[in-house]
Amino acid sequence: MLVNNTFHLSYCTNIHPGSNWESTFTSLKEYLPGIKKQVSPNAPFGLGLRLSNKASEELNEGNNFAVFKAWLSQHNLYVFTMNGFPYGNFHNERVKDDVHTPDWTTTERLVYTKRLFNQLAELLPDGMSGGISTSPISYKYWHTTEEDKQKAFEVGAQQLSEIVLQLFDIENTTAKYLHLDIEPEPDGLLENSEEVVVFFADYLIPIASETLRKHTNLSEEKIAATIKRYITVCYDICHFSLAYEEPEDTFAKFENAGIQIGKIQVSAALKILYNEAAKEEIWQSLARFDEPTYLHQVTEKIGEKVVTYNDLPVVLAKQKAFTELRAHFHVPIFLEQFGSLFSTQDHILKVVAYLKQNAVSDHLEIETYTWDVLPKELKRDLSASIIREIEWLKERL
């Protein structure tokens, strides 16, 4: 839905099961009409569509695409953004670091993303931009040496240059502007704003420039701008709070580097503030969030350095004293406190305040995907929870 005549606001449908097209469409039909009726009864409602590779392949089969487009039209729904980060199943089985599989060093990731963009170009309404969020190149622990990491960045940049060419062609032939939004996260090869800026300067711009020189007639001064037009950043609020970055500083850094924000994913991390008198309660509360499906990295700022523990069990085993920890667990955005634990909701409010003065992106996608693995006392009816998150954010915008 359009908020303040500026922001397309929705939630990411990776909340719902969707290993193939049948299960994906079934989930959409079950939840979307009812949610729209509550949050946007008289106006079009956009959705952040998540398609696994298999669901995306099957969407192109038979008359599935025509049926889906007709269903969207019937219910006054539209697609403006997609989540192209998880390639495979995202529910009811172990995901952990496999969420990065296949990474940007593989042909599979490139083929999947290209197909998603062709589908988004067909689904996106005229006069609207569209974006797809994606992996931060790869998972850090798969590359043990600096040489390995450098090679991953080089291959990833070359693959991304193929996306730049695709999106350049789509805009020239359809007048639809699409962008790929790289999503930094803890233990990704790109974790924070500084690593993104370095990747653009040292890998993406030089490597993609060579590709554009070979395949386009763009002038030298337009080549870098074209690359930065089509490759942007997905600013996941949870992830950047885990990097202990203040939103205003991060947005300024990207602006100075000429890097655009394609999408803002509105999400909150767990915040754990140490209290010696209540430490047993704190550790017990935190242990309730230890579950086997997703990676829940924990970060700690020591001096000027951010230390990352690769999963919650590592921290639970140590139980050492600290000042503040932040855990990669997407908790409901409308809650500031969870018993003796807190959330990084304050970062969401800072981003909202910034957006009111500087609309750095018009794509806002709520991404709390952990409803089914939350502690029992936090679980509620899924539709009601989604509606509550949307209404909470609308009020503050």
Q: Per-residue pLDDT tens for 369-387?
A: 778 778 877 778 899 999 9
Least confident of 200-209, 226-235, 332-341: 332-341
Q: Per-residue pLDDT tens for 298-310?
A: 999 999 999 999 9
Q: Per-residue pLDDT tens for 57-84?
A: 999 999 999 999 999 999 999 999 999 9
Sort 162 into a burial class: Cβ within 10 Å, 0-12 / 13-18 / 19+.
middle
Q: What does the block give as tokens for 258? A: 């000429």
Name the band, by pLDDT with cuts 50, 70 and 90, for residue 293.
Answer: confident
3-class SS at 246?
coil
β-pairing verdict for 298-302 and 324-331: antiparallel
Average pLDDT of 151-161?
98
Q: Per-residue pLDDT tens for 2-54?
A: 999 999 999 999 988 888 999 999 999 999 999 999 999 999 999 999 999 99
b/e burial code for range 372-381 (CB count within 10 A of at least 16 → b) = ebbeeebeee
Name the band, by pLDDT with cuts 50, 70 and 90, for residue 266.
Answer: very high
pLDDT of amino acid 373? 74
The answer to whether the CB of 100 falls within 8 A of the CB of 135 is yes
Average pLDDT of 76-95?
85
Between residues 96 and 112, the one the model is more confident about: 112
Q: What does the block give as tokens for 219? A: 């002038």
User: CA-CA distance, 83 to 262, in Å (whole number)?
Assistant: 12
pLDDT of amino acid 379? 74
Annotate 44-110 with DSSP letters as a single string. -EEEEEE--HHHHHHHTSTTHHHHHHHHHHHTTEEEEEEE-S--S--SSS--GGGGG-S-TTSHHHH
Nearest C-alpha neighbor of 272 from the set 239, 334, 310, 315? 315
The answer to whether the CB of 354 falls within 8 A of the CB of 248 is yes
Using the predicted structure, report yes or no on whether residue 163 has a pLDDT greater than 90.
Answer: yes
Taking only Cα atoms into account, the Rg of the chain, rounded to an integer number of angstroms, comes to 20
User: CA-CA distance, 170 to 183, in Å (whole number)?
Assistant: 22
Using the predicted structure, report yes or no on whether residue 238 has a pLDDT greater than 60.
Answer: yes
pLDDT of amino acid 131? 98
Name the band, by pLDDT with cuts 50, 70 and 90, for residue 92.
Answer: low
In sequence order, the 6+-apart residues with CB closer than 8 A to the CB of 93 are 293
Using the predicted structure, report yes or no on whether residue 316 has a pLDDT greater than 80.
Answer: yes
Report the Cα 132 to chain-centroid distance in Å. Answer: 9
Between residues 37 and 88, the one the model is more confident about: 37
Handedness of CA 360, 178, 160, 165 (dihedral sign): negative
Nearest C-alpha neighbor of 181 from the set 248, 139, 229, 224? 229
User: CA-CA distance, 372 to 16, in Å (whole number)?
Assistant: 10
Annotate 36-63 with DSSP letters as a single string. HHHH-TTS-EEEEEE--HHHHHHHTSTT
User: CA-CA distance, 216 to 224, in Å (whole number)?
Assistant: 13
